[in-house]
Amino acid sequence: MVVEVLAIVVTLIIILYKFTQNLPPGPCTWPIIGKMRQLRPNVFRSLAELSRVYGPIISFRTGSSWKITVSNPQLAKEVLKDNDQQLANRHRTTGIARFSRNGDDLTWADYGPRFVKLKKICVVELFSSKNLETHRAGREEEISIMIESIYSNSCGKGLVLKDYLWNFMFNSITRMIFGKSCVSSDGELAIEGRELKAILEAQFHAKVSLGILEEVWWLRWMSWIIDGENKALAARIHKFFEAVIHERELERENDNNTYPNFLDALLSRRKEYDLSNNTISGLLWDMVSAGIDTSVVASEWGMAELLRNPTVQQRVQKELDNVIGSGEVMTELDIPNLPYLRCVVKETLRLHAPTPLMLPHQANQNLNIGNYNIPKGSRVFVNVWAIGRDQDVWKDPLVFRPERFLEEDVDIKGHDYRLLPFGSGRRVCPGAQLGINLTSLMLGRLLHHFEWSLPEGMRVEEIDMLEMSGIVGYKKIPLEVVPTPRLPTHP
Ligand code: HEM
């Protein structure tokens, strides 16, 4: 009874506070637990539902901080363009603070001159068109290994597609970042690969936020009780990347034959860029953490949609047959000549943004969005998943119809606020072009070489279309598919 009365009083205080402070509307509940329980298990879907009730900008409180979510293109523009600089910080949970050494990397760095320098380094040394071209052969070698391995393991049986996509992405990224393939062509992991894969898996399942223990200032002293696992994982991450750096430094001392990978570029210009070992290690960790899952998620969802929409699958295959033919394999150079495949990638990213809430932005001052006050310190999320499914923005939003992008060419790299899978503004994804190339390559090669169907007895309506909770929206139930070779001989 006492608790209930207290909850009602606190709720009334919050309603009054929101009203007098002109905060965005939203649910008013007991502030400590706040909406935490209601937001589970899938935050972006729950937030989209709340937006249907309260409108496209909502505020709510978990613990002692305000959370703001926007879910229409106009408000997304206010967040990512009009208030870009004021919202260019990110909140670091206790786990993230440990893994990133308190922002001594790019993804979790505070906005400022150091962040601007690191982002420029990444764009110049890794993501420039010249660098992407330099590494193209490596990615194409890896995709051929993936296709071979599907040929040899399939024989009409079902396979879990994600495993193949993940190995391909793992090798492509580690080759570009520090010059090593970690998985062999028969799927075996080298020692280093095994450790890195274990780290990424542990990171994926880690409880990066300690929930109310870190949200409520007077409970924070208790965080140590459950922070141990994150601390141990952070030590493991740092040890791994420090060993990678050390090994490469020794190799470079012994022979000058440098490979053009990202780590080499950072090491050879570390004085000019004034980079510590911690920062280099943080940048390597960023690229591996941000680069692998996102494109795997996109490709797995793309294939799920193509199985649900066989006419789309056939149309992509027809385009591939016309442009590539049956005696050649598709390369990244073919992507500009495959307009329908490019539309399939866009349509996939519209319906299944791999990071549905992007990454969190944080207000570094009081500001105004949608005519509401946003207090300094608020965490601001753009629900790009909801914007991609908004019926005021898209015709038949839930229908997978790549043709919509043939009818209207919508930018996907942060210039059109209707379609924001890579974010926009100062914090936009620097790996967008690489992500698009890799997703197009995975889907294009899979569809060129194979006809895809579901395991015997499974109907299309039975494909589960729900996401896992977390920063990246993996399919909750991994897609199981049956490939049948469709080219006369595999080239
Ligand atoms: C389909 C693939 C990808 C998607 C959908 C994607 C999406 C995103 C999004 C939404 C953000 C946050 C934007 C914001 O907060 O405003 C981001 C940031 C980032 N992404 Fe990607 N990404 C992809 C691929 C990649 C790849 C391949 C790499 C690197 C190898 C990469 C590296 C990064 C980094 C380092 C950041 C942090 C940038 C910053 O904080 O300034 N991403 N990505």
Q: Does 77 sit in the ligand 1 pocket, CB within 6 Å?
A: no
Between the CA of 152 and the centroid of ligand 1 the distance, in Å, is 33
| Ligand 1 mean position, distance from CA 253 (Å) | 33
Which ligand 1 atom is the nearest neighbour of the CA of 426?
A: 41
Whether ligand 1 lies within 6 angstroms of the CB of 471 is answered as: no
Instruction: Return per-residue pLDDT of the chain as tens, 491 residues.
Output: 655 655 566 666 666 666 667 999 998 755 444 455 555 568 899 999 999 999 999 999 877 789 999 999 999 999 999 999 999 999 999 889 999 999 999 999 999 999 999 999 999 999 999 999 999 999 999 999 999 999 988 767 789 999 999 999 999 999 999 988 777 766 677 788 899 999 999 998 887 776 666 676 666 666 666 688 899 999 999 999 999 999 999 988 887 555 679 999 999 999 999 999 999 999 999 999 999 999 999 999 999 999 999 999 999 999 999 999 998 999 999 999 999 999 999 999 999 999 999 999 999 999 999 999 999 999 999 999 999 999 999 999 999 999 999 999 999 999 999 999 999 999 999 999 999 999 999 999 999 999 999 999 999 999 999 999 889 999 999 999 999 999 876 55
Q: What is the pTM of this model?
A: 0.93
Q: How far is the CA of 392 from the centre of ligand 1 (A)?
A: 27
Residue with tokens 């991609």: 388
Is residue 429 marked as binding? yes
Q: What are 450's strand-pairing partners?
A: 485
Q: Which long-range contacts (CB under 8 A, 24 or more apart) does 202-211 make?
A: 202/233, 202/236, 203/99, 203/233, 203/237, 203/289, 204/293, 204/470, 206/95, 206/230, 206/233, 207/95, 208/93, 208/94, 208/95, 208/96, 208/99, 209/93, 209/94, 209/95, 210/93, 210/94, 210/95, 211/36
> Which tokens is 126 given?
């890794």
Residue 89 phi/psi, 5-degree rounding, is -85, 165
Q: Is 295 in the pocket of ligand 1 (CB under 6 A)?
A: yes
Q: Is 414 in the pocket of ligand 1 (CB under 6 A)?
A: no
Nearest to 80 by CA among 89, 72, 88, 71: 88
**Separation between Cα atoms, residue 226 and residue 70, nearest integer Å:** 32
CATH architecture classification, 2-485: Orthogonal Bundle (1.10)
φ and ψ of 473, to 5 deg:
-95, 65
The span from the CA of 266 to the CA of 320, in Å, is 38
Nearest protein Cα to ligand 1, atom 19: 429
CA of 21 to the centre of ligand 1 (A): 34
Mutation probe of ligand 1 site: the residue of 293, 294, 358 with most atoms within 8 A of C-beta: 294
Distance of CA 172 to the CA centre of its chain: 16
| SS3 call for 226 | helix
